[in-house]
Structure 1
Amino acid sequence: MFEPGDPARTGRVAFWDPAGGTPPASPGGEPGEADLVVPDEDGFTVRTVPVLRLTPARALPVLLHARRTTSTAPATAAPPASAAPATTAAAAPATATTAPTWPPAPATTATATATAEPSAPTAPLTATTSAPATTAPASTLSETLADLTGPADDDEDGQGVIVRWDGTRWSKDPAPGLPDVWEWSSVTAVAADDVWAYGTVRRDQRLVHFDGTRWTTVPTVGPVDDSFPEVPLDAVPGRLFKGGDALYTYADGAWQTFALPEQVHIRDIDALAADDAYATGMKYPVDGGHPVTYHWDGTTWTLLEEVPVRAGTDTAKIAVESTDSVYVAGWADDDARPPIPSVAHWNGAEWRDVTGDLSALYVHAIAPDGRGGLWVTGSDQTEPTSSGPVFWHYDGTVWTEQDGATAPDGDARWPSYTFYDLAPADDAGSFWAVGHYTTPLDPRGDQDVHGLIERSTPSPAS
């Protein structure tokens, strides 16, 4: 149930258990009680029940997860511990429509190369597509070949989907071998014939590999991370990295597990090579906890110095350009004002807070610009309330805010655009941004959530 607040941003979503149990603890959650009017033998009665209160931003992925769980009523679902914003957003069925694109994206044949980082800053995004399924993490192989993952539309009978860009359009990947899952939450590609994806169904995990012809399920290790089931993946030639409540590496058919302290969860991984990777996450709970960042040297993981971010910041994103240029980002809740983002930069020897003018943003995605700078996006909460998609660029000194493209049927009154991942679209500085947007409320008070893919175009200066 939603409990309104004044100002509106202080409202909370309260979860309760119809059976009378106590909802599980969750990072960022506020345990408490609430008086509810519930049916009984004589009609209705008032009952005090234990609840877990979450901010709308933290509650959204929980509600969307419950929506996909046919055995659970979303209105009363006790949240899993993964109440922090996930890297995946669910959506109602979307009609595939494309807004006018300028300049138009090139239509070329699919030729796979190693993943290329953007080489120059880009202009605001101009291509807007309502995706065939909700979009989540993206992995780029080349200008003409990319993969996206996400949960299924309602007509997919609960099966997650992987969609691919072939240089002209996005479409559901037709390759055989994918098992049924509720959602594919991570995808990472080394080449056109070396792609990995991770998904979950109930409390089981699925790891699959694509060899250019078909998908094959690969046995994985460790339990599902109940706190954050959408665990990160990153692959480089010769090795796969997997996060969660431990750090896992996979090479030559064998897994290696690096145990983490209790309540430490890895939220993002970015690898440069099989012997050079970085991972970030948190020692939870957020209030009283602290960020963690690890480095992999080909043999083991080593804990780096603590990232200098504001207390209460949930660090969940990492972007690596080189061994002396690593960015970590997150955001903090504050009931009295919009979210407070934080970005820190590692120069190979020490961390430096580079948040600067970045403000009022739930940070869900970051990506290097290929020139020492950074692109950042997520969900803009600037006051007075606006509705458009927003991207921030950091050139190493100054932050610049840029507008993305709006969907023709997007809500124009409230914050309605959220991006969960960024990936390079070519070697000229363009990138893909994937997420979702909402439509205006209809007369019944309902709204649709559509998957969203946007593509930037290089600026004339680049």
Structure 2
Amino acid sequence: MKLRGLAALSALFLPAGVMTAGVAEAAPKSAPQKWKFSTRTNVAGDDSLGALAVTGRKSAWAAGGVWQGPPLLYRWNGSAWRRVKLPAHVNHTLEEMDATSDKNVWAFGGDYSSVLKSFHWNGKSWKTSVVERGEVYTWDAEVISSKNVWLSVSEHSGRGQLRNWNGRKWRSMRVPAAGRLYSLSFSSGKSGWAVGTKASGGGAVAVRWNGSSWKPTALPRIQMPKGSTLHLGSVLALSSRNVYAVGSYSWMVDDDEEFRPIVLHWNGSKWRRLTGPKVHSNLSGLTTDGRGGLWMNVGGDRLANYRAGRWTVTRIPGPAGQHVGLDAMANVPGTATMLGVGYARPDGPEPNTQDSVFFTAR
């Protein structure tokens, strides 16, 4: 679940040196939460859970699928994950999901060649609709209400990068300044953000939704080695005046690609660059930590926490002899608990099996 409507709490997440009138930045606690490997699905076949939505202190959903098999859906009750039985018409691997409550859960999936579908849980049953026919799949999903749902998609029809559900039908929308849009985040129905690539190819773009149209914003000048490419892959809007975006810039050194992290902050009028963690990796998967800071993924095998100008980088935990990765994480609202979903597979160049796994942090 992507948090929205947090304007009253936005000062908790402002970087050092950025203040709002009459509100001071919260003092950081001594250390970020400690991540733990929780359990695995143990489903027959290679399975993947890459989508996560937290809907309350004792409720969360995780979705994915089995390679050449059925879709997977799990629900968390505050202490354990249990698999949810799905009706026959929910028949595609679930690539993305988001929710505002347990009566408004959306998941999306397709067969990568002929159709993209949405699956909506209203608290009693699953309703299916066709988002689009053709070769189309999703990058991100953002649910604002049951009558306002956004998808960023990759497609070849020329109909645009975004799809929006208005309660009756799906409509296509093109953002002229942008190419692919990898991440969406809204603080309200009239204030949203998307980040991705420029329409011209090469370089990053951050576009803003004002309730009626998408407009590009100017990114700060960043000194980079010659031949570098700037990439933004994740955005988090805490309010209209408090937005973060992360990614990296990269360049080639002989046959190797070098990366440096990028962290940007929007204060309501402009973007500025923040000092990032001391890593040589890309940043992705932005989310709040419930303690006045942020969590993000570092290069696939580590996590970084940012609070009050301080960075902490930690390895993703897992069992011995297993390679693990975390694909999605989210804070349980009103707590310092984090939930995560990812994968575990045997070390080695050609692993035979992969299980989806669950993580927690407190």
Flag whether TM exceeds 0.5 (same fold).
Answer: yes
Q: Which residue of 1 aligns with 2:95?
A: 185
The partner residue of 1:449 within 349, 354, 361 is: 354
Partner of 1:234: 142
- 1:70 aligns with none
Deviations 1:402-455 (A, max 9, x none): 344322442xxxxx333222211342122112222331239xx54533322211
Larger relative contact order (Cα-Cα within 8 Å, sequence gap ≥ 6): 2
Matched, 1:290 2:203: yes
Residue 105 of structure 2: aligned partner: 195
Secondary structure of the residue that 1:293 maps to in structure 2?
A: strand
Q: Alignment partner for residue 406 of structure 1, among 313, 318, 328?
A: 318
How do 1:422-441 residues align onto structure 2 when only pairs under 5 Å count?
422-441=329-348
Q: Give yes or no for the alignment of 1:249 onto 2:175.
A: no
Give me the identity figure in percent.
18
Partner residue of 1:366? 286
* Amino acid of the structure 1 residue aligned with 2:248: W
Per the alignment, residue 92 of structure 1 pairs with none
Count of residue correspondences: 321
Instruction: List aligned pairs for 1:56-455, cutoff 5 A.
Output: 122-131=32-41, 132=43, 133-152=47-66, 154=67, 157-176=68-87, 178-181=89-92, 183-203=93-113, 204-221=115-132, 224-225=135-136, 229-237=137-145, 238-244=147-153, 245-261=160-176, 264-283=179-198, 289-306=202-219, 311-336=228-253, 338-370=258-290, 373-379=293-299, 389-410=301-322, 416-441=323-348, 446-455=351-360
8 Å CA contact retained: 1:321, 1:372: no
CA offsets per residue over residues 245-293 of structure 1, 9 Å max, x none? 42222223144432133871111111222222211111267xx622122
SS at match of 1:375: strand
The offset of 1:211, in angstroms, is 0.9
TM-score, with structure 2 as normaliser: 0.78
What does the per-residue CA deviation read over 1:52-78, in whole Å, with 9 as the maximum and x for residues that have no partner? xxxxxxxxxxxxxxxxxxxxxxxxxxx
Q: Retained in 2: the 8 A contact 1:163–1:170?
A: yes
- Judge conservation of contact 1:363–1:376 (CA < 8 Å) in 2: yes
Contact kept, 8 Å, 2:178 with 2:196, in 1: the verdict is no
* Aligned CA distance change for structure 1 residues 217 and 144 (closer, same or farther; 3 Å): same
SS at 1:134 equivalent? strand
Please give the per-residue CA displacement for 1:180-238, whole angstroms capped at 9, x wherever unaligned. 22x2110001110111111111322111111112211123247544xxx2321110124
Contact 1:177 1:214 in 2 (8 A): no
Alpha-carbon separation, structure 1, partners of 2:220 and 2:87: 43
Looking at structure 2, the residues matched to 295 and 168 of structure 1 have their Cα atoms a distance apart, in angstroms, of: 38
2:110 aligned counterpart, secondary structure:
strand
Q: Higher Cα Rg: structure 1 or 2?
A: 1
Which amino acid in 1 is paired with 2:273?
A: D
Q: 1:116/1:130 Cα in 2 relative to 1: closer, same or farther (>3 Å)?
A: farther
Distance 1:289 1:205 in 2: 27
Q: CA deviation at 1:139?
A: 0.7
Q: Distance in 2 between matches of 1:356 and 1:378?
A: 11
Q: Do 1:421 and 1:434's aligned partners in 2 also have CA atoms closer than 8 Å?
A: yes
TM-score normalised by the chain length of structure 1: 0.62
Write the letter of the residue equivalent to 1:186.
E
1:407 is paired with a residue whose SS is coil
1:332 CA displacement: 3.8
Q: Structure 1, unaligned stretches of length 5 or more?
A: 1-111, 381-388, 411-415, 458-462
User: 1:353-403: per-residue Cα shift (whole Å, max 9, x none)?
Assistant: 1243341233331113356632111435xxxxxxxx522111141212234
Any idea what SS the aligned residue of 1:206 has?
A: strand
Change (3 A) 1:141 1:197: same
